[in-house]
Amino acid sequence: DLPFFLIAGPCQLESLDHARMLAERIQAACAPTKTPFVFKASYDKANRSSLGSKRGLGIDEGLSILSKIRAEFDIPVLTDVHLPDHCAPAAEAVDVLQIPAFLCRQTDLLLAAGETGAVLNVKKGQFLAPWDMENVAAKIASTGNQRILLCDRGTSFGYNTLVSDFRGLPIMARTGCPVVFDATHSVQQPGGQGATSGGQREFAPVLARAAVAVGVSGLFIETHEDPDNAPSDGPNMIPIEDMAPLLSTLARLDRVVKDG
Element at 121 (helix H, strand E): strand 119-123
The answer to whether the CB of 167 falls within 8 A of the CB of 130 is yes
| Residue 260 interacts with a copy of itself (CB under 8 A): yes or no | yes
CA dist 92 and 232 (Å) reads: 26
Using DSSP's 3-state secondary structure scheme, residue 119 falls into: strand
Helices (H), 190-240: 204-214
76 vs 191 by CB, closer to a copy of itself:
191
The one-letter amino acid code at 140 reads: I
191 binds a copy of itself (CB under 8 A): yes
Q: Does 47 bind a copy of itself (CB under 8 A)?
A: yes
CA distance 64 to 27: 20
Q: Which stretch binds a copy of itself (CB under 8 A): 20-28, 89-97, 158-166, 236-244?
A: 158-166
State the pairing for strand pair 119-123/155-156: unpaired
Please identify, using beta-carbon distances, which residue of 39 and 232 lies nearer to a copy of itself.
232
Q: Is 48 in the site for a copy of itself (CB under 8 A)?
A: yes
Question: Can you give the binding site for a copy of itself, defined by CB under 8 A?
Answer: 46-51, 55, 82-84, 102-103, 105-108, 125-129, 131-132, 135, 138-139, 142, 155-161, 163-167, 169-170, 187, 190-191, 195, 200, 202-203, 206-207, 209-215, 249, 252-253, 256-257, 260
